[in-house]
Amino acid sequence: DGTMRRTRKRPLVNGEIENPKWVPVISSLLIFIPVLIVLPFNPAMAFFLLLGAFIYTILYTILLKPRTLVNIVIGGAAGSAAVLTGSAAAGQWNETGALILALILFLWTPFHFWSLALLYREDYSRSDVPMLPVNTTPRQAAWWIMIHTLPTCIFSVLLVVLPTLGWFYFIPVLLISLMLFWRNVQLIRDPSPANAKAMFMASNYYLTVLLLAVYAGTVARSLLA
């Protein structure tokens, strides 16, 4: 983080927060909350909490991020674990909707971070982090982003087949999916920092609209039932 302009002012990097002081506190909370508080009442939720923490901190950050191009592809499973944690809290982690939404988060995460890495390509290059956009040409990176954008959009639109969702979900998700696809096409045509930033912002808007649409569709169906 200290070698990148984007992250060098973070409190842990510039010394505002002492790293060794907080490591045992944060580590203890990651274990204490799932095991001692959640486990007795909801074992599935405790499992997914621990799984998400393990994937992000150990598997992704420590083992994969400094070593392999596919670091964020596997690390994206941490986002899936977050979805399943919330679903487990409602007692529905093994239902079709929760599993598809977890898959969508898994597919969304790589192109979200690759867009950011393409924008800060020189930063990542200086830090020796083997992010895919650093080790390919910008246009190749844009195509890899498309490989993940397409299935994300497809599965998001197909989620409308669930009985709990309807037009309140389908219309906004279809529109935001078309916008995301168009942004990706623009990035392929011209993989400039400006288009990389636009793609990154589009990925943020996409997830926001998707989750709000799930909520809107569910509430609308319950009110109209």
Q: Give pLDDT tens digits for 108-165.
A: 999 999 999 999 988 888 877 888 999 999 999 999 999 999 999 999 999 888 877 8
Identify the band that residue 178 occupies on the pLDDT scale cut at 50, 70 and 90: very high
Does some domain include residue 194? yes
pTM comes to 0.85
Does some domain include residue 15? no
Does some domain include residue 35? no
Triad 14, 20, 21: Cα angle to 5°: 95
Tell me: the pLDDT tens digits for 53-109? 899 988 998 899 888 988 999 989 999 999 999 999 888 888 888 999 999 999 999
Q: How far apart are CA 77 and CA 138, in angstroms?
A: 25
How many structural domains is the chain composed of?
Answer: 1
Name the residue among 48, 21, 158, 41 with its Cα closest to residue 101.
Answer: 158
Please tell me whether residue 4 adopts helix, strand or coil conformation. coil
Q: What is the pLDDT of residue 186?
A: 98
Does some domain include residue 50? yes
Identify the band that residue 21 occupies on the pLDDT scale cut at 50, 70 and 90: low
Triad 90, 103, 194: Cα angle to 5°: 120
Q: What share of the chain is helix, strand, coil (3-state, %, to 5)?
A: 80, 0, 20
Q: State both tokens at 163.
A: 């009985």
pLDDT exceeds cutoff 90 at 46 = no
Does some domain include residue 8? no
Q: How far apart are CA 58 and CA 67, in angstroms?
A: 13
Q: What is the pLDDT of residue 15?
A: 63
Does some domain include residue 21? no
Q: What is the pLDDT of residue 39?
A: 75
Q: How far apart are CA 116 and CA 109, in angstroms?
A: 11
Q: What is the pLDDT of residue 162?
A: 82
The average pLDDT across 41-56 equals 89
Does some domain include residue 193? yes
pLDDT exceeds cutoff 70 at 194 = yes
Structural domain that includes position 79: 43-224
Does some domain include residue 6? no
